[in-house]
Structure 1
């Protein structure tokens, strides 16, 4: 079968290529550039814990040395600290973990992905290859690139990860409505010593802002080696950000934060960051898909646009891998647009609703009924990936979500949400984190069995409910891996979790219920048609039923 063609070699395209290769799907990545990225410390990204884990799993290398996991975050208004969040104790509201986001320069992230791809035989990176035409047929897609060695490429599917000006989207005549220049920020990266080592800062209405045409909101985010990225929200309009104005912003901000004296600093990079809000009408057109900035633009109020792009890649990879290996199932492929577009649309809608209230100083209660947290708290949610503005979406209303199951039980993870990263034991007796088992093209079935972590595998693998559960897992209509965990948040002993290859919870069952497990797995694959595409699916259902008697 022909490889998957990925147009665009930014972080989303490279992540998708690695995710597909991990599931034994060959890819061609078309890079219109020379295959390397210019170092730009003023161009950074913020990743949540699970998307950081995704990249680390695919690259096989930790990102911590390339970026900074914040020790905490604080919000200030004028001279007062209005809210502080600490990540050091990893304890958030209601006792849940409060993991630190990772702040990393985009070129460093892309470099780590390119290094991993260089050792991946299933991925071909074609540099200086700019897409200019595409022909789609029932059996595949043919694209043409121009450049020093312009040529035709044949692929099974095409994924446009080629940014907000996506050629793939334009060739498919997909509309990209939305708003332009929702926000503008002046940006500077500088090496300087500030009072809040390792802590991010959101400062609104700084008391010195009347001394120069300064913005009413400043964000400071640390990077490695004493480097900080500072952002100044600019007033509406298209006024040029001159070097003189930027130096004024820097000097008065540093003096304001350092008791009136501007500390020594090295200016490393500058830029202007313009935020657009756009959402493609369609994310799928036959064998062509959109992901990342080609499908959506967001980023106002501190929200993390690239983080959503990596979620696109994670969601799409296992569905394309299933189609590549087992044959196309339309409902499964369609679910990519249904799930991801709804999740991004919800974040865009929340940001658009909050924007006039937060920027004009209006009341908050009309936006979040019963809330009195204040504007700074809501803005912090965007920066930290929490709350109505910042939290990633779940897929509870997905067409891949099973209907009501007799044996379903509640756990702390809602249906369709990413699972918690607990320690698990594999069938060979080895220990791993649950997230390390994701993205291998298999469903995960996790049995919660307290005490198994201190027993030898030979004592529990053939005891109690394990043989029945193992038989039920073998009978599923898709490859599945059986894991055992001593505990899971909110789960009772002998609960069984069914987890998608991208780490989202399908269901939690009370005990071994082969019929429910089979039905949930079948729905998670897009319905009965997907099961029929698997050899022996019908016989597997009979074996599952027999195992329950």
Structure 2
């Protein structure tokens, strides 16, 4: 079969190509640029643990805590650990790391100076044209538009992109400075008693990204005004720390203005063409991270394209591919709705959410901002695909409760593979373990070599059942999992979401889960809600 054509070489497109390669699917990334990623220290992204774990080792800065203040008074401090600390890095650093990883993948190819201007579809594939001196036609099995907010692919597909423009705007500066605190992100409301809001988030190399909230629509910020903001803010912070207010030496590395829009494409799939990342949705207000959501799009779509690519485009594949829009569009739509509801409360001190927030007042307002920045609650937590069309049919599978709800992302625990390889559960996600992971909870196995327990108890029958599944699957063993009893079997999708927790090794029910995730359900199975309007 032909490769998957990916239009756009930003984080989403590059991550999608990398995940496809790990699923043994070839891809061609059509990059409209010259292949470089201009360094911009003021253009950064915050990755949650679930998205950062799917990628290669990334150079960045993890925060040890998050502090929220109002008029220099502490409102909340959140201590962060290995599981909760986000990774903060420049976007060009992320893109370069992804490009470097793709250089080692024989199934991935990035083609610079390739701007898509035509797209045609037929029952067996897609044909894409890129403009240039002579023009080039590319043939692929599927096409994915990851080409940003002004997506040409989306326009060629005739998909509308409704929403709101400039719902939030920030002046941004990247400053190399030694602040009175280290590795701690800060959000400060009304600094120095003056109405306003500033956020400070550390980057690697002693650089801090500072953001000042601006009116959603207003005059341009001049370089002189930005310099004044930097100087005034640093003076306030040093004065609060030592009583003198004279900041030490600092270097202004980069500046910019970040404008957050809210838009959601009407459709994310049109036959064999898909949209992902900023081509499918725009967000970023109240700390919501757009790059994070784009990487979740890539993780969700890659294994589904891989199953369709390897097994053929039949009715099951159609259900499977439809589930991408059902799951991801619904999740992003819910996030955008939450931001719409929170904005009046957070920015103007009113709104209908007040009754929903314990305590009310400034603490509740700033708590919503903290959720967005730290990846918690409606504004930040990873989506749970509770009503996915890929759930096993009701009544066919017996499940038991564990610390993760069906459809939610699994917790990262230590695991051992059948060949004795040890690592973390997330090491096997996004194609490294195939399209499905089967995790047996077996206390005590960590102290034994795998060759001893592979032939003991239920392991032989479970291993045989995993080998017989209609999808590529990997068997793992874990000492424990939150709230899971011994001999529980977790069935986990390649993007890290739980399909089901079985009470024991049950080959027929395990197979039912595998059939469900590839879209081969009987009529009357679960129905997704992804096509509902936000």
Instruction: Note whether the superposition's TM-score is higher than 0.5.
Output: yes
Cα offsets for 1:258-316 (capped at 9, x unmatched): 10223321111110101000000000000000000000000000111100000000000
Instruction: Count matched residues.
Output: 510
Cα offsets for 1:117-152 (capped at 9, x unmatched): 222221121111111111111111111111245211
2:341 equivalent to 1:348: no
2:141 equivalent to 1:175: no
2:234 equivalent to 1:249: no
Question: Given the alignment, which residue of 279, 282, 292 partners 1:294?
Answer: 279
1:390 to 1:158, Cα distance in 2 relative to 1, 3 A = same
Aligned to 2:378: 388
Cα offsets for 1:80-128 (capped at 9, x unmatched): 010001125x5xxxxxxx5200000000110111111222221121111
In the alignment, the residues of structure 1 paired with residue 2 and residue 20 of structure 2 have an alpha-carbon distance, to the nearest angstrom, of: 13
In the alignment, the residues of structure 1 paired with residue 296 and residue 311 of structure 2 have an alpha-carbon distance, to the nearest angstrom, of: 23
Unaligned runs of 5+ in 1: 57-61, 91-97, 210-214, 531-549
Q: For residue 253 of structure 2, give the secondary structure of its aligned residue in structure 1.
A: strand
In the alignment, the residues of structure 1 paired with residue 85 and residue 197 of structure 2 have an alpha-carbon distance, to the nearest angstrom, of: 23
Aligned to 2:476: 483
The answer on whether the counterparts of 1:425 and 1:485 sit within 8 Å (CA) in structure 2 is yes
2:472 equivalent to 1:492: no
1:164 to 1:230, Cα distance in 2 relative to 1, 3 A = same
In the alignment, the residues of structure 2 paired with residue 167 and residue 367 of structure 1 have an alpha-carbon distance, to the nearest angstrom, of: 43
Q: CA deviation at 1:369?
A: 5.2
Q: CA deviation at 1:425?
A: 1.5
Q: CA deviation at 1:167?
A: 0.1
Aligned to 1:513: 506
The answer on whether the counterparts of 2:357 and 2:364 sit within 8 Å (CA) in structure 1 is no
**What is the Cα-based RMSD across aligned positions, in Å?**
1.6
Q: What is the TM-score normalised by the length of structure 1? A: 0.90
Q: CA deviation at 1:474?
A: 2.7
The answer on whether the counterparts of 2:341 and 2:353 sit within 8 Å (CA) in structure 1 is no
The answer on whether the counterparts of 2:384 and 2:407 sit within 8 Å (CA) in structure 1 is yes
What aligned pairs does 1:6-21 form with structure 2 within 5 A after superposition? 6-21=6-21
Q: For residue 343 of structure 1, give the secondary structure of its aligned residue in structure 2.
A: helix
The answer on whether the counterparts of 1:364 and 1:375 sit within 8 Å (CA) in structure 2 is no
Cα offsets for 1:25-52 (capped at 9, x unmatched): 1111111110001100000000001111
Aligned to 1:424: 415
The answer on whether the counterparts of 2:344 and 2:351 sit within 8 Å (CA) in structure 1 is no
In the alignment, the residues of structure 2 paired with residue 376 and residue 391 of structure 1 have an alpha-carbon distance, to the nearest angstrom, of: 17
Q: What is the TM-score normalised by the length of structure 2? A: 0.93
Write out the 4+ residue segments of structure 1 that deviate beyond 4 Å after TM superposition: 369-373
Of 449-458 and 194-203, more deviation after overlay is shown by 449-458
Q: CA deviation at 1:75?
A: 0.3
Q: Which has the higher contact order (CA 8 A, sep 6+)?
A: 2
In the alignment, the residues of structure 1 paired with residue 359 and residue 269 of structure 2 have an alpha-carbon distance, to the nearest angstrom, of: 38
Unaligned runs of 5+ in 2: 240-244, 524-534
